[in-house]
Each structure stands twice: as C-alpha cells, then as structure tokens.
Structure 1
Amino acid sequence: MTDIAGLLRRLEKGGIPISQAIKEAMMSVDIEDFTDYDTEVFYVDRPVPFMETDQGAIKTISAPHMVATLLHHMELKAGEEVVILGAKGGYIAALVARIVGSEGVVRVLDPSMDAVLHVRSRLTHWPTVETRELESVDVAPVAFPGEIHRVLITGQLSAPPTWMTDRLVEGGFILAPIGTKGSQQLVKIERQGEELMPTELGPVAFGPVDVRNAEPGPMNADELADLLELAIQTCEDLELIEDEERYALEDLVVNLRDLPDDLPPPGEGGMPMEEHPMIQLMWQAAPSFFRLWPMLQTMIHPNLAQPGAPDLDDDEDDGSDFQP
C-alpha cells in the first residue's frame, strides 16, 4: 500500500477531521483492492475511477478528503447497520464495515448491475457487506429491512428517496449530496419525531447515483436554464452583474424553459446547429451569455479542493510523504 499515512497527515493538516477509527480503517483498507485503474491520483487527494460503461460514463471512488469527511459525518459506531446508496467501487463500504465491526451490517445498493458485480467481486472476503441491485433509486428493494438507522448516499440526487426517509428511525439520518448536477450541498437529514430536520454541511460536487445519468451527452434546454439561474445568482451575490445584463439573462432562462420538452439537444435530431432554437436564443442573448460562459464551464467541470495533496511550498511537508 502506498503511503496512506502521509496522506492522512496531510488531510489532518488541511483541516479534515479524522477520528482514530477512521484513520485505522483507511490505514487497513487498500484502495488498490477496489480498482484496476492507476491509484497514484488518490494519494494526491483526487478521485480515482473504478468503472467505465460502454457509453463512456465514468464512475469514481471519491477523493480521500471527501471519503474522510463522509465517514466523519456518519458518526459510526461498532455494531451499527448502515445503508450505502451508490457503490463507489466497494471502497467506502469496506471502510464502513471496518468501523462498525463484525457485529455491524453494511448494505450496498446501486441501480447499476455492473457496479454491483464490481463490488461483489472486490468484497468476497467481507461477510458483513451485502450488495444488491436496485430496480430504481425511487423503489425500495424487495424484502429490505423495515427500519433504517444510517444512510450514506454517495451520488447526487435532487432529494433522498421517500422509501428511505419513511423508514428512518428516531435519531436516524441520511447523509447525501442534494441538488442538481451543477450545484449540490452535503446535507444531513435526521428524523426527529414526525419531522425530517435537514442540516447543510457545505457545497460538494458528486456525480449522479445512477451511472446511466453520468453518460456524456449534450445539455438540454432545462439543464442550461438551471446553470444560468445559478450563475446569475452567484453574480448577484458577488455584485458582478448589472441590472440590464441580469434582465437579459433572466429572459434567456424563461425562453429556454418555454422550448418544447421533446426538443432534442443541439447536435441531435438531425437539425443544423445554427438552426437549433437553443443556439439561436444564446446568440440573441450575446454578449451577456458569453460573458458568463467561463463560469458555466466551471460549474460543469468544477475544480475540486485537494487538502490532502502534497504542498510543495511547505518547508515542513515538502511532499516527501508522497510516494507514487
């Protein structure tokens, strides 16, 4: 195993809370057991792929700082039963299983059979981990336990499935990245009596739970409108936009949402690009739209923090802990 100890020291130095239980789990579970891809990037605190579909969608194991953050917020104890929605290659499931111990149970659910088979092949010697395919994220699996105590959702959803929230016991909670593809918050949703109490823990950037939703393709009108609304709000918060420009962009959002639902994205359906209504609307909104384009690109492909990366400018830690 490459120098995980050095990585953990850098994460702690970067402000990531890591309990002794999490540290021991990450020291004992080898990332290389869960992917055939090069894991060098993992040790500079980046996500590492574990699977690619025939359509080109990539599924990754989260960067170490996010793995540690998720485990921290899960508040795991020995003997607990934990549900994980989203396979993440089986790595996080193994860490959770290590923390909850032989008396605990980890149930991994994923809507991709390929992801399920991958996890099963990597966790053959982990008897406390069960892995099942979901027919749909919104449909409870057959004969699933009636009460849920801890849920970790490892991919973007607009909201947690109702069948999960309905089964949460008192004090139980769901930890999930909630939002759109371009804007998410890590949210802890706890059952308190009849109420579900959400607590936002900070912005995050996860791919969707269902790998099929991660397959590359052109952006449709509603997706572009969502991104524009977020960009407009961000510019307003930072006082970077004039009223006239904001009005023009808000009109563009309205016009995009008024396009037919069955309109294919640009580049599909045999329509010339220059004749596509989305392209025409964007040209009409120029230059306001194009001034926002760099921000939209950043929202589509966010630059993620790397608190566990070697700091080559730090005399106390010059990166010598990192061994490729």
Structure 2
Amino acid sequence: MDEYFEKRKRLVERLKKEIGLSEKVARAILEVPRHLFVPPEVRSEAYNDYPLLIGHGQTISAPHMVAIICELLDLEEGDKVLEVGAGSGYHAAVVSRIVGADGVVISVERIPELADRARKTLKALGYTNVKVVVGDGSIGYEPEAPYDKIYVTASAPRIPAKLLMQLKNGGRMVIPVGDFIQHLHVVDRDEYGQIKTRNWGAVRFVPLVGEEGFKD
C-alpha cells in the first residue's frame, strides 16, 4: 500500500465518476502499476490523467483514454486481442488483466527500442499472456490472426483493410482515424462478416506510421 497505490486508487475513483468504469476495467487499472511503464523522470506524474512522453516521439495514452478504449472493446475473458502500437506496454498490461490467463494480447510495435523496453517491463511484472513483436502494425500481425478484438493506439488515415481482414466474425475493432481532426471509430464485424462503423467522438493520438498508415 505505497504512495503509488493510493494515487492509483484515487485515479480509479475519479475515472468511475467521470466516465463510469465497469468493474472489470476499474479492477485492471487499479492492478497495473502505470508508474513502472513511464520513464523515471516523469514517474511522479504517472497517475495524472494526461499523456506522457516515453521517448522516440511517442506517448503513453492518458488513463481515461485507455479506460475508454477498453470499455468500447467490450473485452471478455479468453479473448485474443491485437494491439497496434505497444508503446511502453501499459495498455497491453491493462487489457491482459481483463482477458485473463485464458486470453492473449499480441502487441505490434514498429520501434524496436520501445518494443524491447515494453517486453522487459511486462516480463518483470509477470504479464505472461502478452507477446510484443516488432513490425508494421498498420498491416496487423497475420501469424496470430484472426482476433476477437483489435485496437489501435495511433491515428490512421483510414481504417486499414488488412486489420479488418484479421478481425473475426463477431469481433470488434477500436481505432482513431484522421490527421489534424481525429475521431475514434468502433468497428463491428457481424456473424456474417458485414461491417458496421460508428463514430465515438473526437480524440488526439500520434499518427499511425506504416504501409496502411501515414508515411514516416
């Protein structure tokens, strides 16, 4: 019960009031030590509700946005989840808590140094159901496809066709789309393979770089 736990507890209480967290998402955020996924120099800011720089021009998303994406995904125990953009590994850690020991999170990160750091942090903290791979997340990760859920932590110019192809029938994807003006899209593939998309609202993310993203 150190100072970080108390800060994390207060963060969860604020998020419950502000966005109405489900119990499973609230529990996951309470369990994951966000301060261990950020650089030491900003550790004291880990439980403030805003993004933080993690190096290489990338950020760890604000806690409320991590929570919102988890809620929109409607994660279930046992889900196989694709994360595009591992960053520090924090979001994957939260998702891994929700999907449980029978679930798995495959996280694709294009920057090798970030992938390596995320891998080491996740391993040190005992997250055994997260696999971090280096690659172009804009085209997904075919070796583990298809996925129950897919989420993207960077904004794409459009919904990538190759990600849609890797989403199971009955699955869901959450992805920010846009350049200067971005919106978070919730994409559902029904049991017959038909796609429906709804716009959740305005957001702000770093750009998705890759074959089906923006050019570096």
Q: For this structure pair, what is the TM-score category when the shorter chain's length is used for normalisation?
A: 0.7 to 0.9
SS in 2 for 1:95: helix
Say if 1:186 and 1:203, in contact at 8 Å, map to a contact too: yes
- 1:301-312 equivalent positions in 2, closer than 5 A: none
Deviations 1:200-242 (A, max 9, x none): 101000012349x798xxxxxxxxxxxxxxxxxxxxxxxxxxx
Deviations 1:103-157 (A, max 9, x none): 11000001111221121111112211101111x344454x612322100101111
The aligned amino acid for 2:206 is G
RMSD between aligned alpha carbons?
A: 2.0
Aligned to 1:246: none
The aligned amino acid for 2:189 is R
1:49 is aligned to 2:56: no
Structure ranking higher on relative contact order (CA contacts 8 Å, 6+ apart): 1
Aligned to 2:115: 116
- 1:132-147 equivalent positions in 2, closer than 5 A: 132-134=133-135, 136-141=136-141, 144-147=143-146
Aligned to 2:43: 39
Say if 1:79 and 1:105, in contact at 8 Å, map to a contact too: yes
Aligned to 1:167: 166
Aligned to 1:65: 64
- 1:280-291 equivalent positions in 2, closer than 5 A: none
1:3 is aligned to 2:7: yes
The aligned amino acid for 1:20 is E
1:23 is aligned to 2:26: yes
Aligned to 1:154: 153
Unaligned ranges ≥5, structure 1: 216-324
Unaligned ranges ≥5, structure 2: none
Structure 2 vs 1, CA of residues 139 and 200 (structure 1 numbering), >3 Å: closer, same or farther? closer
Q: 2 CA distance for matches of 1:80 and 1:156?
A: 24
Aligned residue pairs, count: 205
Which one of the candidate residues 184, 189, 210 is aligned to 2:187? Answer: 189
Bigger fraction of residues in strand:
2
Shift in Å, 1:86? 0.6
SS in 1 for 2:47: helix
SS in 2 for 1:189: strand
Q: 2 CA distance for matches of 1:80 and 1:208?
A: 27
Shift in Å, 1:35? 1.6
Which one of the candidate residues 10, 17, 35 is aligned to 1:13? Answer: 17
Aligned to 1:77: 76
Q: State the TM-score, normalizing by the size of structure 2.
A: 0.87
Say if 2:87 and 2:109, in contact at 8 Å, map to a contact too: no
1:200 is aligned to 2:204: no
Structure 2 vs 1, CA of residues 140 and 71 (structure 1 numbering), >3 Å: closer, same or farther? closer
Shift in Å, 1:13? 2.2
Q: 1 CA distance for matches of 2:185 and 2:204?
A: 12
Deviations 1:237-258 (A, max 9, x none): xxxxxxxxxxxxxxxxxxxxxx
Aligned to 1:130: 131
Shift in Å, 1:171? 1.4
Q: 2 CA distance for matches of 1:137 and 1:82?
A: 13
Q: 1 CA distance for matches of 2:215 and 2:28?
A: 29
The aligned amino acid for 1:29 is V
SS in 2 for 1:3: helix
Q: 1 CA distance for matches of 2:162 and 2:198?
A: 20
Say if 2:34 and 2:47, in contact at 8 Å, map to a contact too: no
Structure 2 vs 1, CA of residues 60 and 138 (structure 1 numbering), >3 Å: closer, same or farther? closer
Q: State the TM-score, normalizing by the size of structure 1.
A: 0.59
Say if 2:168 and 2:189, in contact at 8 Å, map to a contact too: yes
Looking at CA atoms only, which structure, 1 or 2, has the larger radius of gyration?
A: 1
